[in-house]
Chain A
Amino acid sequence: MNNFVILPILIPLLTGIFLIFLARKVNAQRVVSLISAIISIVIAFSLVIEVKTDGIQVLQASNWAAPFGISIVADMLSALLVLVTSIIVFTVLIYSFKHIDADREKFFYYSLVQFLIVGVNGAFLTGDIFNLFVFFEVMLMSSYVLLVIGGTKIQLRETIKYLLVNVIASALFVVAVALLYSVVGTLNIADISQRIAEIEQPGIITVIAILFLIVFGLKGAIFPLYVWMPGSYYAPPIPILALFGALLTKVGIYSILRTFTTLFYHQPEYTHSIMMYLAILTIIFGCIGVMAYMDVKKIIIYNIVVAIGVILFGISVMNTEAIAGSVMYTLHDMLIKSALFLLIGIMIAKTGTSNIKRMGGLIHQSPLLGWLFFIAAISLAGVPPFSGFAGKLMIIQGAFEGGHYAGGLIVLFSSLIVLYSVMRIFIFAFWGEKKEYNLATEQKKDNRFLMLPIGILIAVSIAYGIGTEAVYTYVSDAVQVLMNPSDYIQAVLKEG
């Protein structure tokens, strides 16, 4: 019993409820949500330390023993993801203070952000497959409202698409859980894992595994199922987009990682090779999208698709190096994607356009912005001193060890294209002659304050890159649990 594990879910939940009472007082809302974000970082940090020293932390909610109640489980992977999530929320909140307009702020924006975090943290921490579904819904409901809040025409149109896709995905999720329940008769992830191991994954379980891959693939945007994403993510304001880009797809990826290492690992030659083909196709289609557009938002959005493909490829290789690489790369990608979205937010605010052909010479106007973008760009591509390097290196190492040479080479080649795409933004927008932008006077806001959250994110990401060795000791704990599901099962069921 350890109530500490529930706090990353409980704190944003209580904050979100409290903020409903403060609906009209924007300043009070900002203060409360900022304080709660700082507390969340502290708690997430101590959770990581606790998991490091004492092993997997489990809370049996309402004091029911393991397979009968809901377990909240924090292993190293969950704890790290919760920590990165709380850092991102902290920075995006600071960014929102200046960037979100007052109408949205009055209409429960900060509450909704807190509820989104309840869903995300809950999905990372739960040890029950149906509870995972519920937290997915908490997250999705908040994201529907965050997507449509403000009510511009493009937001309304894209929300309908996003809503349709996710309602269908959720229905499939329920069907998949129902099928799984009818076969194994339990919902606790540890217990399911044990029973699947007992019956040695017959055909029906493999079918369910593929169904789960489709469900989480819809949420996490893998190859044939990513088509909803570029349009939907194009619609909302930048801080919301940064939250979505950094968190939502990664929850899908986390769920794939969890289910395919803990539950469905008995027939990798079938399930994991399908996953590998999908991952490679995701990378290829993401790369095509990355090169095709001249719009900064679209370029970064397609970069999410590429990153999802790379992470998924690491998962599908299924050896220690590749999984460790995937975990490293996920943490890095969450940080750097949110930084990139916040950066292009400032660029769009400065130039009044998102088309890179109409930008130019921004480095004269704001050198700091330029160099922050440069650092973010090269760490996205994985240049050695920065954060994207170690993860990709380990994924490729794992791929070559597993004999998947073509896949490894495609991952390498995709880095080149990713670098090309962000450097193209850098060259078009920051180099060249200074251009005149005809902005309306109310659009000429002072953007210096917005550098602070971006600076924090970039600093964390640089520290992550330089301190890879230190981070790896934590990541290897996470991988240890993922590669040996028995650790997970023992931790959850030990008192059962």
Chain B
Amino acid sequence: MKTKTNDLILQTVTKVATFVIVLFSIHIFFAGHYTPGGGFIGGLMTSSAIILLLLAFDLKTVKAILPINYLLLVAVGLVFSVGTGVGALFFDAPFLTHAFQYFDLPLFGHTSLHTAVLFDTGVYLVVIGVTMTIIQTIGESE
């Protein structure tokens, strides 16, 4: 049975909090190399933001906001991670060898860009994909 209640406070808070959570998760994702954080915890946080949306609204609304096939997101994430490893093969280096280089970027200044970020992006996407697939599947089944 579905009861229609007035969730105005929850929904309004969610609209603000979701952005804060997503921003914090992205911060944690990028901070992973030097401080605690990384792809796994970042992915979990991003999916927790989506779950907050799910709690405040409902499955259909969230699907309209984020029309993502999460199973494909898992596959894309895997392509990122494995692709980073396979990339090393083309440079005649052992599988999963990473490379980094310092660049002078306009906004960030002297920054090191590392291929491990690509690997972590894969992890990040897989974690979001898996978490959301689990929650959506359980939520939809009756």
In chain B between 83 and 99, which residues have their CB closer than 8 angstroms to a CB of chain A?
Answer: 85-86, 88-89, 93-98
A17-B75, A20-B72 known; A63+B82 contact, CB < 8 A: no
| Extra pairs beyond A14-B86, A20-B78 (10, CB < 8 Å) | A1-B94, A3-B89, A10-B85, A10-B86, A10-B95, A17-B75, A17-B82, A20-B71, A62-B98, A63-B93
A60 proximal to B (CB < 8 A): yes
Give min CB distance, B115 to chain A, whole Å.
11
- A sample of 26 cross-chain residue pairs with beta-carbon separation below 8 angstroms, ordered by A number, consists of A1-B93, A1-B94, A3-B94, A10-B85, A10-B86, A10-B95, A13-B82, A14-B86, A17-B78, A17-B79, A17-B82, A20-B71, A20-B74, A23-B71, A59-B94, A59-B95, A60-B94, A61-B95, A61-B96, A62-B88, A62-B94, A62-B95, A62-B98, A63-B93, A63-B94, A72-B95
A21 proximal to B (CB < 8 A): yes
- Bound CA–CA A17/B79 (angstroms): 7
**Does the CB pair B97–A63 fall under 8 Å?**
yes
Residues of B within 8 A of A20 (CB): 71-72, 74-75, 78
Residues of A within 8 A of B79 (CB): 17
B72 in complex: contacting residue of A14, A21, A61, CB < 8 Å: A21
1/0 contact trace for B19-32 toward A, CB 8 Å?
A: 00000000000000
- Bound CA–CA A62/B93 (angstroms): 8
Residue of B nearest to A5 (CB): B95
Residues of B within 8 A of A6 (CB): 95
Residues of B within 8 A of A72 (CB): 95
Chain B residues within 8 Å of A, Cβ to Cβ: 71-72, 74-75, 78-79, 82, 85-86, 88-89, 93-98
**Most chain A CB within a 10 A radius of its CB, from B74, B94, B97:** B94
Closest 4 CB pairs of A and B: A20-B75, A62-B96, A63-B97, A17-B78
Interface of B: prevailing SS: helix
**Does the CB pair A14–B95 fall under 8 Å?**
no
Residues of A within 8 A of B93 (CB): 1, 63
In chain A between 235 and 270, which residues have their CB closer than 8 angstroms to a CB of chain B?
Answer: none
Residues of A within 8 A of B95 (CB): 3, 6, 10, 59, 61-62, 72
- Bound CA–CA A1/B78 (angstroms): 25
- Bound CA–CA A14/B75 (angstroms): 10
Interface of A: prevailing SS: helix
Residue of B nearest to A3 (CB): B89
1/0 contact trace for A11-33 toward B, CB 8 Å?
A: 00110010011010000000000
- Bound CA–CA A17/B85 (angstroms): 14
- Bound CA–CA A60/B88 (angstroms): 13
- Bound CA–CA A1/B93 (angstroms): 8
Residues of A within 8 A of B72 (CB): 20-21
Residues of A within 8 A of B78 (CB): 17, 20
- Bound CA–CA A59/B94 (angstroms): 7
A3-B89, A21-B72 known; A62+B82 contact, CB < 8 A: no
Residue of B nearest to A14 (CB): B82
Residues of B within 8 A of A17 (CB): 75, 78-79, 82
A21 in complex: contacting residue of B75, B85, B89, B98, CB < 8 Å: B75
Give min CB distance, B129 to chain A, whole Å.
10
Residue of A nearest to B89 (CB): A3
In chain A between 19 and 76, which residues have their CB closer than 8 angstroms to a CB of chain B?
Answer: 20-21, 23, 59-63, 72
Residue of B nearest to A62 (CB): B96
Residues of B within 8 A of A61 (CB): 94-96
Give min CB distance, A33 to chain B, whole Å.
15
Residues of B within 8 A of A62 (CB): 88, 94-98
- Bound CA–CA A326/B89 (angstroms): 36
- Bound CA–CA A21/B88 (angstroms): 24
Residues of B within 8 A of A10 (CB): 82, 85-86, 95
Residues of B within 8 A of A63 (CB): 93-94, 97
Residues of A within 8 A of B86 (CB): 10, 14
**Most chain A CB within a 10 A radius of its CB, from B86, B93, B95:** B95
- Bound CA–CA A61/B75 (angstroms): 23
Give min CB distance, B136 to chain A, whole Å.
16
Residues of A within 8 A of B89 (CB): 3
